[in-house]
Structure 1
Amino acid sequence: METIQRKAALLLCAVLAAGIGLPGCSTHSEHPGTYGTDTQEQEVTLKLYFPGDKKSAMGEVWSAVSSHVKEKGLNVKFDIRFIPLGDFKEKMLVMAASGDTWDMNFDGDWLSFNPMAAKGAYLALNELLPQYAPNLFARYQGQGTLGAASVNGQIVGLPWTIKMNQRQFAQWRSDLTEKAGINPAPGSLQTIEDVDQFLHQMKQAYPNERITRVGARAVYELRDEWVDLGFHHLGFYLHDPKVTVKAMEQQPFYKEAAAMTKKWYDDGIMNRDAMMDKEDGAAQWRNGKALFGWNSHEWIHANQGFSDPSYATQSSQLYPDRKFINRTPLANVVAINQNSRHPERVLRFLDMLETDKALYDLVQYGIEGKTYMIRNDRVVYPEGMKNTTSNYMEWGGQWALWKPQFMRANPAYDQDFWTKEAEFASLPNNVDSPVDGLFITEDNIKSFLVKRDQAIEEFDKPIIFGMVKDVDKAVGSYIELQKSNGLDPVIADVQRQIDAFLAAKK
């Protein structure tokens, strides 16, 4: 019904505007010029969706958020809803296709943002954003990140304002290696050969321990400056100015990585159950069930929350001379539903969040004394709570609302943590992707992609986990299978879209 009413309103607006030149015709509940000024406005409820599980104090906290913004002239209540992370992408796509009405939701390029944006599920904000969220708009202008969240020139998402890079570091349990007399110099593990030698030393020192569940492919990708498009195992090389699309399985590093991973599997370094293991990898690391892995600059400097305080780690940046793309601004996004009845108020709320530290504390940490405590200038969990039992802190989807200017030190991050992350991302070899903001559509190649994905699931997984008997034979057969599945038309269509995207940027 809302969709029908909205279309009717749009049609009426168009007729009136064409007939008598009526200015300011809008299908929304507010009009330009009311930003933060109308204290008599009618109360409305904003329905917001986030991924994860709803924390027990969520209702009480957001009631306090409502009271706070009402004092500032924004008369809203909040209906905060959660969808389990594993169901979030499909659920959002179904809701959008059904024409459901909500106001704002979390999203990201790793969830449903690309297909939702491509299908027109999100409201274009080019005019509304500077009008109703001028402070947030100025922040984006300074960062230059709105282009990544635009489709055909229309801003359809609001990216987080964090800048970071997730290039690979090797990380290991240094308390155990030091005990075994294995003491690599800081920063000395830089190549895959260095890592291979080190892992064999660890296995010799701890023959009965589970060393790692990660294969070698990520390191080879870094070595060769490969950029994964996040689209059905297609990518390109960062040093290629033409951005030529290629299939991952046909690249030399693919077979090299498969051979190295098989070596680790055969030598007992790679966990034998790695392909079937569904346990969270971070939990295994925190609980001492893994001794080695790849990690990012963020997590080698964060407090990883080990279950045993005696655990210690050391790390080394891999291939520091190679270029690596920064994390996209679309990693964490909030977007406004095309059918939202109150987009202006969503934007006013987000603008307040950009400038109001007390509001930020409420949204991110909750109510002091109930959901968080301040100890030594650091936000900590109340007594008896931790991340897995918290009644509010670390709620799912808060990442898109992180504001570096207000973030407090917490159990994981020091006060200046995100400043250092931004500095690291700004180093010369950490660069933005030339196709950041590209939305690749599948409309012309869906049938080919179904077959490609089936083959990835059936044949790529054993290769990536080192479980094939003959690497050369397995990789060769897999390449031929993907060719027969229609690789050429897939690459041609994706290349066409990339070429058009790059041409439009010039």
Structure 2
Amino acid sequence: MKLKKVMSGILCLVMAITLLAGCGKKANTNETGNQTEKTENKSEGDVDLSEHVTLVMYLYGSAGVANDDILAEINRKLTEDINTSIEVKYIDWGDIGTKYPLIWASNEAFDMAYASINTAVPFYTLAKQGSLYDITDIVDKYTPTLKDTVPESSWAATSSEGKIYGVPTLGSGYTSTGFVYNKENCKKWGISEVTDLESMIAYCDASVAHGIYPFNGNADIFRDFYKMLIETTGNWVPAPGISTEEMHLVTRDYKNYKDIIHPAFTDEFAQFVTMMDEWEAKGYWPKDILSSSTGDKEMYKNGQSSSYITHMGDWTGNYTNIHGKLQDQDIDAWYFAEDHNKIMKSSPAQDITVVNANSKYPERCVMAIEKFLTDKSYYNLWQSGIEGRQYEIVDGYLEKPASFDESVDAGGFSAWAFSNAEFKIPLRTEHPSRYEKMEEWSKTYLSDPYTGFSFDPSKVSTELSAISNVNSTLGIQLMLGKTDNVEAAIEEYRNQLKRAGIDAVIEEVNNQLASFTQVVK
């Protein structure tokens, strides 16, 4: 149940920071980069490429049946180019919260890994703890194409104290939560399409009247409603300090990123959770939602709801999987932040490839990353597989070949950090509005005001644990209308946050922000 996941995530982070405290940048003593063969003298810049090496890289996920074949093709090309191979080690989805911190804390031998501001040990924490290799000089000297291709603002976002510690993705994404609904229902029910809160409520009311829940799933949807609160309220945007997996802090105005509050102490929050209480009473979701285990999109797919809330990339990217087998699907979304002109571009530090401080071959690592990010042939292999086996291009769309056999051809990597928007080929399984919205938002987006800032929670770890307890109980109950007296529950929630130490956390965030200089404005 999500209540337990929130707590375990906070505890993993605290544990990781404690373990990492003694992990500085050590001598190059790891045994990765196994020397497998020697070839003729070969160099690029001043790097001696005469000796073939294998670099160990960690990615999320698990190996598909054809992953070894795809990787063999990547390695064939990489050996020709820089006399290097890649060995991928996987962190299975269910193990991320525990294994990811441990690969850094245990001094395990590897060369590269996926990193993010949202990983169990955040990117900036790894950089400050000395777990990452400073690649500034390598980028300058050996990978000029990479240096010129990555925007300066993205390099700034993957830097700490003026040094580059990671290579950011060249893909672009947007934080854009929306109410996803079926316009065919609007026609059948005789109502307008959803363009604002009033028409959303009209849709939900009509759905209940026709015997189907507007929302269905498990307790996770509290997070969707919390995003809705933030994105529909003035100039609020998420602020650091509390995990965004729970009911986190915001800045009251993205133009003043140091004005940090917890929404619980505002009239807007009280009005919103009162509305949630009303929606629960109307039957917008099942009574047993707190104990349910099935997710909201799975419920929609099974015909158990008429809508759901998620971000644009999720529903458009998974359109066929969610909606493909259902009848009369004309899907659209009302994006909450659009009404306040605050669609935010994802931080360049969202998806990064980092080099372990103990790698024996940091130059080879960065040279390999350059190939993966700037050469379309590598991009296609990492993102789509082998042409003719995992994919083919038909009329400009990426499709599975007629010969594709799931039992022998399925494969792929969670290579998000190797994404490049320039090389992206649309999938027929995606909703076409995905690219329409990305083009539209590329002209109007906001940059995350906290890009480049890393909050160190060590001084308030006790308070954060207590706050997480409050959020995972009374907080979630308020967001899902599961209190007997909403006014009394709001007051109690505020009191519990105070006792848990919310003021100390906000003060610590402000103390750390005092020395922060924005890298994007």
TM range (shorter): 0.7 to 0.9
What's the CA shift for 1:363? 2.1
Which residue in 2 is equivalent to 1:20?
none
Q: Which amino acid aligns with 1:83?
A: I
Deviates more, 1:345-354 or 1:226-235: 226-235
What's the CA shift for 1:46? 0.9
Q: Which amino acid aligns with 1:367?
A: I
Answer yes or no: is 1:312 the counterpart of 2:316.
Answer: no
What's the CA shift for 1:345? 1.0
Distance 1:458 1:303, change over 3 A: closer
1:335 to 354, 363, 368: 354
- Work out the CA distance in 2 between the residues paired with 1:116 and 1:62: 28
- Work out the CA distance in 1 between the residues paired with 2:95 and 2:204: 37
* Conserved? CA contact 1:449–1:490, under 8 Å: yes
* Equivalence map 1:416-427=2 (5 Å): 420=436, 422-427=438-443
* Equivalence map 1:32-431=2 (5 Å): 34-35=43-44, 41-72=50-81, 74-111=82-119, 112-114=121-123, 115-141=125-151, 144-184=153-193, 189-190=195-196, 192-204=197-209, 206-209=210-213, 211-213=215-217, 214=221, 216-224=225-233, 225-229=235-239, 231-232=241-242, 233-239=248-254, 241=256, 243-299=258-314, 301-302=316-317, 304-305=319-320, 306-310=323-327, 311-318=329-336, 320-324=338-342, 325-383=344-402, 391-393=410-412, 395=413, 397-413=414-430, 420=436, 422-428=438-444, 430-431=445-446
* Conserved? CA contact 2:316–2:433, under 8 Å: no
* Conserved? CA contact 2:23–2:130, under 8 Å: no
Distance 1:414 1:359, change over 3 A: farther
* Conserved? CA contact 2:250–2:263, under 8 Å: yes
* Conserved? CA contact 1:100–1:339, under 8 Å: no
Which residue in 1 is equivalent to 2:37?
none
- Work out the CA distance in 2 between the residues paired with 1:389 and 1:357: 25
Which residue in 2 is equivalent to 1:30?
none
What's the CA shift for 1:256? 1.8
1:466 to 469, 481, 484: 481
- Work out the CA distance in 2 between the residues paired with 1:387 and 1:282: 23
Structure 2 gaps of 5+ residues are: 1-21, 30-41, 243-247
What's the CA shift for 1:83? 1.0
Q: Which amino acid aligns with 2:133?
A: L
Answer yes or no: is 1:476 the counterpart of 2:482.
Answer: no
Q: Which secondary structure state, in structure 2, belongs to the residue aligned with residue 501 of structure 1?
A: coil
Q: Which secondary structure state, in structure 2, belongs to the residue aligned with residue 236 of structure 1?
A: strand
* Conserved? CA contact 2:23–2:105, under 8 Å: no
- Work out the CA distance in 1 between the residues paired with 2:338 and 2:394: 37
Q: Which amino acid aligns with 1:207?
A: G
**Taking structure 1 as the reference length, what is the TM-score of the superposition?**
0.84
Which residue in 2 is equivalent to 1:29?
none
Q: Which amino acid aligns with 2:424?
A: M
Distance 1:137 1:448, change over 3 A: same
Q: Which secondary structure state, in structure 1, belongs to the residue aligned with residue 89 of structure 2?
A: strand
Deviates more, 1:354-363 or 1:331-340: 354-363
Which residue in 2 is equivalent to 1:13?
none
Distance 1:285 1:151, change over 3 A: farther
- Work out the CA distance in 2 between the residues paired with 1:377 and 1:89: 38
Q: Which amino acid aligns with 1:498?
A: L
What's the CA shift for 1:452? 1.3
**Taking structure 2 as the reference length, what is the TM-score of the superposition?**
0.82
- Work out the CA distance in 2 between the residues paired with 1:500 and 1:387: 53
CA shift digits 1:225-252 (9 cap, x unpaired): 3222253222212355252121232222
- Work out the CA distance in 1 between the residues paired with 2:330 and 2:25: 58
* Conserved? CA contact 1:163–1:421, under 8 Å: no
Q: Which amino acid aligns with 1:284?
A: M
- Work out the CA distance in 2 between the residues paired with 1:367 and 1:267: 51
Structure 1 gaps of 5+ residues are: 11-32
What's the CA shift for 1:254? 2.0
Q: Which secondary structure state, in structure 1, belongs to the residue aligned with residue 259 of structure 2?
A: coil
What's the CA shift for 1:62? 0.8
- Work out the CA distance in 1 between the residues paired with 2:154 and 2:136: 14
- Work out the CA distance in 1 between the residues paired with 2:134 and 2:118: 21
Which residue in 2 is equivalent to 1:28?
none
Q: Which amino acid aligns with 2:263?
A: M
Q: Which amino acid aligns with 2:110?
A: W
Distance 1:300 1:130, change over 3 A: same
* Conserved? CA contact 1:93–1:116, under 8 Å: no
Q: Which amino acid aligns with 2:189?
A: A
Identity %, equivalent residues: 18
What's the CA shift for 1:382? 4.0
- Work out the CA distance in 1 between the residues paired with 2:408 and 2:133: 36
Q: Which secondary structure state, in structure 2, belongs to the residue aligned with residue 243 of structure 1?
A: strand
- Work out the CA distance in 2 between the residues paired with 1:254 and 1:347: 46
Q: Which amino acid aligns with 1:353?
A: F
Q: Which amino acid aligns with 2:79?
A: K
Distance 1:460 1:502, change over 3 A: same
What's the CA shift for 1:198? 2.5
* Conserved? CA contact 1:217–1:464, under 8 Å: yes
- Work out the CA distance in 1 between the residues paired with 2:319 and 2:28: 52
Q: Which amino acid aligns with 1:501?
A: F
Distance 1:202 1:48, change over 3 A: same
- Work out the CA distance in 2 between the residues paired with 1:359 and 1:500: 40
- Work out the CA distance in 1 between the residues paired with 2:61 and 2:335: 32
Distance 1:6 1:169, change over 3 A: closer
* Conserved? CA contact 1:106–1:333, under 8 Å: yes
What's the CA shift for 1:373? 3.0
